[in-house]
A = this chain, B = another copy of it.
Amino acid sequence: MLINLDFEANEPIYQQLTNQIIDGIARKELKPGEGLPSVRSLAADIGINLHTVNKAYQQLKQEGFILIHRQKGVVINPDGVPKADESYRAQLQKKLRPIIAESICRDVDELEFLELCQSIYNSYKGGTTS
């Protein structure tokens, strides 16, 4: 999978990496059971430190996106990502609230906001395109 990092962004590199892998899973480019590069090879590929990759992997592991077999390597969770529970839904709402508050202040009405979300959802439905 192609990884594209912005080293000038405020968002930490490990967080960008985490998000891109989640994005790959959402786009079905990364499928359950599929292997990911080792921390060392991925770090070398994108020119960052292995600990930075490891931090992303640990985060993905803790949230159930991937499994890490000590010697076998890293694998997209073969059972699929754990489905949303109430804790996740609460956290989701907490993330969306300030975004929606600002949108309201800026006169983005509900319909426009929902259509934007819809269009993003649709972008994950089609082909292999990001």
Contact = CB atoms under 8 A, between A and B. Distances in A.
Contact of A100 (B84, B101, B124): B124
B107 A84 contact: yes
Interface residues of A, number: 38
Given A92-B99, A96-B116, A98-B19, A110 B121 contact: yes
B114 A117 contact: yes
Q: Please give the count of copies of this chain that the complex contains.
A: 2
A23 interface: yes
A81 interface: yes
A25 to B, nearest CB: 5
A81 B104 CA distance: 10
A103 to B, nearest CB: 7
